[in-house]
Structure 1
Amino acid sequence: MSLNQETKIKNIWYFKGREPLIEAKRKGRNQSFYGALNLKNGKETAITVKRQNSKASIGFLKKLGETYHNRKIFLIWDNASWHKSKLIKAFLKTTKQFTLMNFPPYTPEFNPQEQIWKALRQNVTHNRFEKDFDVLIKDCLKYLNRNNFKSIKFESLFGRD
């Protein structure tokens, strides 16, 4: 997920013929997040990264490995090009901890992590402007790492009770 700090113009009411002038300042800052949901216990593991790429993905896999104390991890993730790169394949040859699989292309509705990103936006970032972008980033991480998420949509799609 990528978070940016900029003015977002939403629907507003105005008199016909008198369209309001709204000053919008674009901020040059953005922040990327990686996250994974443990479907057994609802625990989210999330980190921030400068960019989403193969190196960041490997860093996230290492974080997951540490979090789960070198236990076997079965991870299903989206079809981002960097998830299927030569660097990822080379990393996987160095460890037997991970089994990786991709969701079908263009099916975010199957990915429970997308529901987490949606909840994050609704509960933390929507209708909020934070002058100090670092505060917003910290609030996002706090929300992700402190909440216990239940993956109802994923369970209903795949028949888990």
Structure 2
Amino acid sequence: MLLRRGRPGEVKGFGPWRFAALLDAAHRQLGGPIVLVWDNDRRHLSAVMRALIEARPWLAVFKLPVYAPKLNPAEGVWSALKRALANLAPRGIDELAETVATKLKRMQYRSSLLDGFIAQTGFILEQP
């Protein structure tokens, strides 16, 4: 696997329109309301993104406090990944990227591990 560095002039990242399209597709597939928990990334706070959110009555967005690693399940993922990479001495960026991708893919199929990351936040996993 080679690290994808993008083409010159190609947009890097996920813009608001592409993210809105992803949410619309998820809404169509799931057939119900979506609850989104976001950190304070500047892309999440833009006027365009706010307008796109407001246009979707089936979407509820909750923002985490400015610094709240204990409330963010992704922090558990990154912590576990860093532990898994602790003694790695990659020969280059491509090897590092391949190893990271493999370890994240393995985590993806361990639902109990992912449930644990959510449980660490204190969020409720079942509907009340």
Aligned residue identity for 1:127:
N
Q: CA deviation at 1:116?
A: 1.8
Change (3 A) 1:50 1:75: same
Structure showing greater relative contact order (alpha-carbon pairs closer than 8 Å, 6 or more residues apart): 2
Identity value in percent: 23
The structure richer in helix per residue is: 2
Give 1:25-44 correspondences, 5 Å limit: none
Cα deviation, 1:94-131, whole Å, max 9, x if unaligned, reads 423310011111122221221122223323x4332264
Total equivalences in the alignment: 113
Which structure 1 residue ranges, 5 or more long, are not aligned?
Answer: 6-27, 31-48
Partner of 1:77: 38
**Contact kept? 2:73, 2:121, Cα under 8 Å:** yes
**Contact kept? 1:79, 1:105, Cα under 8 Å:** yes
Partner of 1:101: 62
Aligned residue identity for 1:61:
L
RMSD: 3.6
Match of 2:13, SS state, is coil
Q: CA deviation at 1:87?
A: 2.1
Distance 2:20 2:107 in 1: 20
The structure richer in strand per residue is: 1
1:153 to 112, 120, 128: 120
Q: Which of these two proteins has the greater Rg computed from alpha carbons?
A: 1
TM-score of the two chains, using structure 2 as the length reference: 0.62
Which structure 2 residue ranges, 5 or more long, are not aligned?
Answer: none
